[in-house]
Amino acid sequence: MRIGIRTRLAATFAIAFLLVGGAVVATFVALQTQAADVTVINLAGRRRMLIQGLTRAVVAISGDPQGLDFLAAPRFGVAGGGGGYLRGSTGVGPPR
């Protein structure tokens, strides 16, 4: 049994349409799942910033200059690198 060219083209376009539609649905579902994660991440970030601010205020009120120096030093994993731990450290990779 021979299949005509129109039937082949129609089947090809139908398969392509279904694949693209499936990709769109999968993307939409993934984005909906991540929407809830964004809220949790934002709340955790706000809580972290609040705790940092409270810690700085408590150390400032205590009048401990060594505590203020510790808080001012940059740390690994924080913007600014890890120069606070070792002199000559770039903050990238393990310490030398």
Cα gap 27→24, rounded to integer Å: 5
Return the percentage of the chain with pLDDT > 90, whole number.
29
pLDDT of the residue at 7: 93
Rg over alpha carbons for the chain, rounded to the nearest Å, is 28
Looking at the domain assignment, is residue 78 inside a domain? no
SS3 of residue 56 by DSSP: helix
Q: Is the pLDDT of residue 85 over 50?
A: no
Which domain range does residue 55 map to? Answer: 5-72
Decide if 81 is inside a domain: no
Whole-number mean pLDDT of the chain?
A: 78
Share of the chain above pLDDT 70, in %: 69
Q: How far apart are CA 54 and CA 46, in angstroms?
A: 12
**Residue 27 located in a structural domain:** yes
Per-residue pLDDT tens digits for 16-50:
999 999 999 999 999 888 887 888 888 998 998 89
- How far is Cα 3 from Cα 1, in angstroms, rounded to an integer? 7
Number of domains within the chain: 1
* Cβ–Cβ under 8 Å, residues 80 and 65: no
Instruction: Please report whether residue 35 resides in a domain.
Output: yes
